[in-house]
Structure 1
Amino acid sequence: MEHKFEQISPHILIMHAEHATDRPVLAAITGERRTLLMDAGASPAHAGQFREELERRGCRLPDMLVLTHWHWDHSFGMSGWDIPAVAHEETAEALAALSGRGWSEEEMAELVQAGTISEASVQHIRLEYGDSGAVTIRQPDIIFTGRITFDLGGVTCELIHVGGDHSADSCVLYVQEDKVLFLGDALGPSVYGGPYKYSSTGFLRLLEMAYGFGAEWYVESHGVPMNDQDFRADLAPWERLARVVDVFGHNRERVVLEMKDYLKLEELPGDLLKGVDYFMAGPK
């Protein structure tokens, strides 16, 4: 598998998302005194590949890591980093609930049944870990509520709890000097414990929050970095969809009609049709 790395701003190197096993973006933010790692990776192997690239480039290795939320692809790589880990209190609670359990087929099936993970996650964990099932859950060292600020030496990062449909513990990371906002998966739908679903009001709240930073670049964990103009253009149909759902509720036919009229299309694109279904499955 070929791994893609990119220096997206003066202080930030990322390892791009890889969709074969649902690996998210990893980022190293380097100041004059220390380096902060955003998300631990899906496995020690994932973590190791990013570390090797940092070493190859002569970058300062991470001194600490932060988690955007507890989901396996963001946190199971923690055991591959011998550095302090920072997480929101709800992230710590979720990881504590998984600590010490096994990851056999039967045990993962129990987690799916309980709505803790999805069948898609099971498939990706199998691919990431192979037959070993050697998952080690590490607990965070520093737990926060609300927000926490890191001074890396000429670079300031804020980790802020925002919640949302995807995961109640979702956090965003803002790198002030580089004007880069890492969104984690905060704008994503709920993916565990039932059909994918969105709350229109919740989605609009998060979008307003994101725009409020005045960032020049936005990075979602399973996407590619986008500048402000491209990000807003990419999210505009989704913002409109959420506003239409806010007005017409779960009248699917009317929502689809309004979106066709807005986009001047005879049929909605497949991703937006899925989006309609997500909102229809959300809170009424």
Structure 2
Amino acid sequence: MSRQFASKGDLAPKKVTFEKLTDNAYSYSAEGDPTSGVIVGDDGVMVVDTRSTPVAAEDLIARVRTVTDKPVRYVVLTHYHAVRVLGASAYGAEQVIASEMTREMIAERGEADYKSEVERFPRLFEGVESVPGLTWPTITFRDRMTIWLGGLEVQLMHLGRGHTKGDIVAWLPESRVLFSGDLVENGATPYTGDAHLKDWPGTLARVRALKPKFLIPGRGDALKGAAACEAAIAGTQGFLEQLYSTAEAGVAEKASLKEVYGRVTGALRPKYGHWAIFDHCMPFDVARAYDEASGIDHPRIWTAERDIQMWKDLEGA
């Protein structure tokens, strides 16, 4: 009997944690759902990843208002995925910031991703009717830029391809707080459907070189202390390397995608099967790993129709 598609069966409410890490940095997490970050500066607030809809964003905004009445001046999109960007309109921010590559991905596949993710995550997209359309950045950059919230320095950096080609991180150098987006996960399965798996470990090496003391991951609770940050980075990298090497070996043997899916899932489940969204991610992860190992560098676009067909092919009886 096949598994229920993606996260359609994940309908139970999640406990939200809104945690102060430093005088300027907060984490908003919810038991493996996408994590958002909040930076409070002298003259305003920056939100890193917006939640999935304006209705969903209202809870984050309400929690921000318990700690400051300063305006939300900036929204930062770590990448283009709908669950992270479609809540942006709720904040009334002066600017929406992303990498140039993220804007390219929104133009190329944002509409398809919107429709695809709504089908994958029905609980996260409650209130989807409040979404006014795609979220477009008003400012983009290639490699790095600095925002000053009064006297607080926030560095935004594209450290290389990984979860997507356009991932950026937000870095508070004074307090060594890193907002990694989905480049790093904590107790949650990396989604690699749009990934560059061979590049991702090198990008993580550049993340590691920052030596964060606090890390707000793409999913999971914030990490506190250098050892905890390193454990999350190493755990993410270990998953990615085993995923890709196992898929690559199958492609070299000319095994089918379904055969490789069975091998990879069997290899990863003992160590990572308890991570959040493991069963959701694995069909998409293996499909992308199989493509990349077959020489397809630019990830194929996921549509709602492709999602369903792939799921039937890999998870069908």
Between stretches 56-65 and 231-240, larger displacement belongs to 231-240
Cα displacement (A) at 1:50: 1.6
Cα displacement (A) at 1:98: 6.6
Q: 1:66 to 1:269 in 2, by over 3 A?
A: closer
Q: Does residue 11 of structure 2 align to residue 11 of structure 1?
A: no
Equivalent residue for 1:270? 273
Q: 1:30 to 1:278 in 2, by over 3 A?
A: same
In 2, Cα distance between equivalents of 1:53 and 1:241 = 33
Equivalent residue for 1:47? 57
Q: 1:269 to 1:173 in 2, by over 3 A?
A: closer
Equivalent residue for 1:220? 217
| Secondary structure at 1:128 match in 2 | coil
| Secondary structure at 1:27 match in 2 | strand
Letter in 1 for 2:63: E
TM-score scaled by length of structure 1? 0.73
Cα displacement (A) at 1:127: 4.9
In 2, Cα distance between equivalents of 1:32 and 1:127 = 32
In 1, Cα distance between equivalents of 2:274 and 2:291 = 17
Contact map agreement 1:78 1:137 (CA 8 A) in 2: no
**1:92 is matched with which residue: 96, 100, 103?**
103
Letter in 2 for 1:10: D
| Secondary structure at 1:52 match in 2 | helix
Letter in 2 for 1:250: E
Over the residues paired in the alignment, what is the CA RMSD in angstroms?
A: 3.8
Cα displacement (A) at 1:96: 4.1
Q: 1:17 to 1:145 in 2, by over 3 A?
A: farther
**2:72 is matched with which residue: 62, 83, 104?**
62
| Secondary structure at 1:229 match in 2 | helix
Cα displacement (A) at 1:168: 1.2
Between stretches 271-280 and 220-229, larger displacement belongs to 271-280
Contact map agreement 1:156 1:175 (CA 8 A) in 2: yes
Q: How big is each residue's C-alpha offset from its partner over 1:209-268, in whole Å with a ceiling of 9 and x where there is no partner?
A: 11111211122121211132023234435545666789898336xxx9xxx9xxxxxx65
Contact map agreement 2:53 2:131 (CA 8 A) in 1: no
In 2, Cα distance between equivalents of 1:269 and 1:92 = 32
Letter in 1 for 2:172: V
**2:192 is matched with which residue: 190, 193, 198?**
190
In 2, Cα distance between equivalents of 1:85 and 1:119 = 23
Structure with the bigger RCO (C-alpha within 8 Å, sep 6+) is: 2
Cα displacement (A) at 1:86: 1.3
Q: Does residue 186 of structure 2 align to residue 177 of structure 1?
A: no
Where structure 2 has 5 or more consecutive residues not aligned to the other structure, the ranges are 1-12, 185-189, 251-262, 294-317
Equivalent residue for 1:27? 37
Q: How big is each residue's C-alpha offset from its partner over 1:27-49, in whole Å with a ceiling of 9 and x where there is no partner?
A: 22112233222122211112221
In 2, Cα distance between equivalents of 1:198 and 1:98 = 16
| Secondary structure at 2:154 match in 1 | strand
**1:76 is matched with which residue: 76, 81, 86?**
86
Q: How big is each residue's C-alpha offset from its partner over 1:48-93, in whole Å with a ceiling of 9 and x where there is no partner?
A: 2122222233342311211111111111011112122112122223
Q: How big is each residue's C-alpha offset from its partner over 1:11-34, in whole Å with a ceiling of 9 and x where there is no partner?
A: 112221455xx4x22222112233
Q: 1:163 to 1:278 in 2, by over 3 A?
A: farther
| Secondary structure at 2:63 match in 1 | helix
Letter in 1 for 2:89: S
| Secondary structure at 2:57 match in 1 | helix
Equivalent residue for 2:249? 251
In 2, Cα distance between equivalents of 1:28 and 1:245 = 32
Cα displacement (A) at 1:283: 3.0
**1:136 is matched with which residue: 133, 136, 143?**
133
In 2, Cα distance between equivalents of 1:167 and 1:30 = 27
What count of residue pairs does the alignment treat as equivalent? 255
Equivalent residue for 1:104? none
In 1, Cα distance between equivalents of 2:193 and 2:163 = 6
